[in-house]
Amino acid sequence: MVKLFGTDGIRGRYGIYPITPSSMLQLGWCVGTVCREQNPRLSKVLIGRDTRISGHVIESAITSGLLSAGLDVSILGPVPTPAVSYFCRSSDAVAGVVISASHNPAHDNGVKLINSDGSKASDQFQCSIERMMQQPLAISNTVKLGKFTRIEDAVDQYSSYLCSTADTSLQGLRIVVDCANGASYRIAPKVLTALGANVISVGVNPDGYNINHQCGSTNPEFIQQQTIDHAADVGIALDGDGDRVVMADRQGNLLNGDQLLFVIAMARKRDNRLAGGVVGTLMSNIGLERALSDQGIPFERTDVGDRYISERLMQLGWNLGGEESGHILNGETGAPGDGIAAVLEVLREIKNTGRSLHQLVEGIQLVPQVTVNVRLQNRTAPLSQLDLRQWPQIGQALEEAELKLNYCGRVLLRASGTEPIIRVLVEGDQDKNIEEIANNVADAVREESHLNS
C-alpha cells in the first residue's frame, strides 16, 4: 500500500504524483466511497482551498470524484482551513476537504481531510483512503451521482462567526495584518475592521503564484518591518491557509506561537476559562514549560502536528494547546488551529489589561533554540521509520552535543511529516555554542544519510 498521508494530510509538488488531476479525481472518489460506507446518513462534502493557481484544478478533480461516488459537494471557495472545520461542525456535512499546502511555496499543493465534527481525519480513516486508492475507479450511473452547489457567502458567514467570539472592541488599536496572499486575505481584514481596529492590510493581493512569497508567518521579517514602518501597535502574520500566526510588537520584536500561547493561557487562567493545562509539542521551547510551571499551569508534550495536540486535549479534557510555529488550538471545539481566532484572544487581552504586547510576554523567557533542516535525497523508506540515533556518526555527535550542553539542554532529531527533511533542534540556557552544536549534529545526519542512502 502506497503511503499518501503525512502529519498534515497529503502534500507535494503539483504535477508530481500524488498531486495530479488524475490522482485527485481518484482521491475524491475514494473519500466519497469511504464516507458513504461509514456514514450513509450524510451525503454532503464541503471543499475549501487557498489561493494557489493549482487549487482550481485540484478542486475540480476532487469534486468530480466525490460526485461520481454519489456525494453532494458544496464549494466554499478560498477560505482558511479552520473555516472548513467550522462549516463542518455547523452543517450536516459528512466531511470536509481542504486544498492547501499551508506555508509551502506556490508550486506545492495538498489535501487535508476534516471530520464532520470539525476535527482532522484520523489515521484509520486515512488508511482506508490509501487502501481504496489501489482499486480501479468505479463510476456511478446518473441516478446515483451527487449534486454540486456553491456557498457564495462563506466569507461573510465565517467572518460573522469570528466577530461573535470577540467580546471586546478593538477601537484604538492600529494593526498591520499580513495575510500571506493566502486563504485569509478577505476574512482577516474584514474581521479586524468590523471590530473597530485601524487596519493596514498587506499580503492581500493573491495572483495564484505569490502565496507565502516573502510574506506570511514563515517570512516574519516582513511583518516586523511593516509594523515599524506603519507605527502600528501590533503586527499579525498568518500563513497560507490561515491556521497559524505569529505577531510583532510595536518595536518590531517577533512573538512566536509559544509566546502567544503563554499570553492566552494567562488570560484564560485569570478569567477561569483554562481547563486543566496546556498541550505543546516536542518542539515547544522549554521556556514555555518553565513559565507555565511558575504559574501553576500543567504542561504536556505531544508529537509535532496540530492533530496530535487536538487528540491529547480531548483525552485530557483541556482546552488550550499549540505549537511554536503558531498553531493555537481551542480544545473546546477539537478544530484545527485558527490563526485569526488566536489573534482575537491576544488582542482581547491587550484591550482588557491596557498592556502592550511586549509587556504581556515579559513573563516568559524563551531558551536559546536553533533548528537546522537537513534535506535528504534518494530516500526509499519513510523518514519516520529511520532510527537515526542508532547510526554511528549521529550517535557520537549526539553524545558530544549533550556534553557541550552540560546536560542542561535538549537535542531533538525529528523527521518532517510533509517533506524529506530531518529537523535538528538544539536548545540550551547558554546560546554561545547552540548554533555550532546544531550544525555539528546536522553534518553527521548528512554524512550518515549519504552513506545509508
Domains of the chain plus CATH, in order, are 10-152 (3.40.120.10), 157-360 (3.40.120.10), 369-452 (3.30.310.50)
Name the active-site residue from 23, 54, 102, 325: 102
Cα 425 from chain centroid (whole Å): 19
Q: Say what the pLDDT of residue 304 is.
A: 86
pLDDT tens digits, one per residue of 128-143: 999 999 888 877 676 6
Q: Say what the pLDDT of residue 337 is.
A: 84
Name residue, grid cell 446518473: 142
Is 102 in the active site? yes
Q: Say what the pLDDT of residue 452 is.
A: 58
Q: Say what the pLDDT of residue 104 is.
A: 94
Cα 432 from Cα 32, distance rounded (Å):
54
Pick out the chain residues at pLDDT < 70.
1, 140, 142-143, 332-335, 378-387, 389, 418, 430-432, 450-453
Cα 8 from Cα 26, distance rounded (Å):
19
Q: In this structure, are residues 113 and 121 in contact, taking their beta carbons and an 8 Å threshold?
A: yes
Q: Say what the pLDDT of residue 385 is.
A: 47
pLDDT tens digits, one per residue of 160-191: 999 999 989 999 999 999 999 999 999 999 99
Pairing of strands 254-255, 245-249: antiparallel
Q: Say what the pLDDT of residue 433 is.
A: 82
Residue among 244, 179, 262 at smallest CA distance from 213: 179
H helix runs in 198-305, sequence order: 220-229, 257-270, 286-294
